[in-house]
Structure 1
Amino acid sequence: MPNSLFIIWGPSNTLGIPIIDEQHRAIVSTINSFYFFVKHGSGPRMVAPVLGILEHYTAIHFKLEEELMRRAAYPGLEEHKVLHRKLAERTKTIALEAARDYDVDMKALSFLKEWWLDHINKEDRLYAPHVCKLMHCDVGAPHH
């Protein structure tokens, strides 16, 4: 059976902050679950529930990230919070479109994949050294 994952999680996606890396993997897993449903013909029925889960879990993740950045006195906290709000708003918009039966499956998947991988591998890497100093974690986490 060919690989049925939409996003392949690998060492290059880790920041070295265990709780954050675990949450990122859970978010990617949720996106991959949605992709599975889309590929097997259940996308329209599953888009709203999956995006609902993603919306709620993302809110928890953002709260934790922002709290760690605050504790670490990360100077880019306010800008990072703006990015979080934009993703939350876009995810909510996609969920509302899906609730009205628009064909948003692949559009939603593409957006989620692009946003999350870009956010993790670019934006989150900016705060990682600050939080790692606070939490005494692996500052030398692999990345590309």
Structure 2
Amino acid sequence: MPFIVWDDLYNIGVPAIDEQHKQIVSIANRMLEALMQQKATREMPFILREMGTYADTHFRTEEEYMEKAEFPGLEDHKSLHQEFREKVARFQQKLEANDPSLTAELTIFLTTWVTEHFSMIDHQYVPALKAAGLIT
């Protein structure tokens, strides 16, 4: 059973972004499963790297849409994306150091990111996308 269950509240109406959000949830669930099943040493380095790489791709997609729509909150949103990147890098360091706080911190971070960022923060740019005719 997944740790983070997809909810249609996370959809913003851009198929490419919605699919990317689903993929991020899938990677997050694999990551959390590896931690809970104590496979972190073997699998986590690869999953964390995948999360970082995929998140970069996703962030570029979102930012391109926001730029096209001239979303006034673009710079603030980019800052949140940068914070995510930095957090993933810190998790990689904690993993390498066998930091026992990793499981709790990563679980809280990922569940919070998905529920808050996807359902609230990302929805802030939807009116700009609609006004620019990028979505209906």
TM-score by length of 2: 0.90
Partner of 1:118: 116
Percent identity of equivalent pairs: 30
Alpha carbons 2:69, 2:134 under 8 Å: kept: no
Work out the number of aligned pairs and report it. Answer: 135
Alpha carbons 2:6, 2:22 under 8 Å: kept: yes
Instruction: Give the superposition deviation at 1:63.
Output: 0.8
Alpha carbons 1:27, 1:57 under 8 Å: kept: yes
Question: Is the alpha carbon distance of 1:136 and 1:73 closer, same or farther for their aligned partners in structure 2, counting shifts above 3 Å?
Answer: closer
- Answer yes or no: is 1:75 the counterpart of 2:57: no
Instruction: Give the superposition deviation at 1:96.
Output: 1.5
Question: Is the alpha carbon distance of 1:107 and 1:26 closer, same or farther for their aligned partners in structure 2, counting shifts above 3 Å?
Answer: same
Give 4+ residue runs of structure 1 displaced > 3 Å after superposition.
132-136
Determine the C-alpha separation between the residues in 2 that align with 1:87 and 1:117.
Answer: 14
Determine the C-alpha separation between the residues in 1 that align with 2:115 and 2:128.
Answer: 20
Instruction: Give the superposition deviation at 1:52.
Output: 0.7
Letter in 2 for 1:57: Y
Q: Which has the higher contact order (CA 8 A, sep 6+)?
A: 1
Instruction: Give the superposition deviation at 1:20.
Output: 0.6
- Answer yes or no: is 1:51 the counterpart of 2:42: no
Alpha carbons 1:6, 1:35 under 8 Å: kept: yes
RMSD: 1.5
Alpha carbons 1:51, 1:95 under 8 Å: kept: yes
Determine the C-alpha separation between the residues in 2 that align with 1:108 and 1:95.
Answer: 11
Matches within 5 A, 1:1-144: 4-103=1-100, 104-134=102-132, 136-138=134-136
Q: Deviations over 1:4-42 (max 9, x none)?
A: 211000212111111110000000000111122223231
Structure 1: give runs of 5+ residues left out of the alignment: 139-144
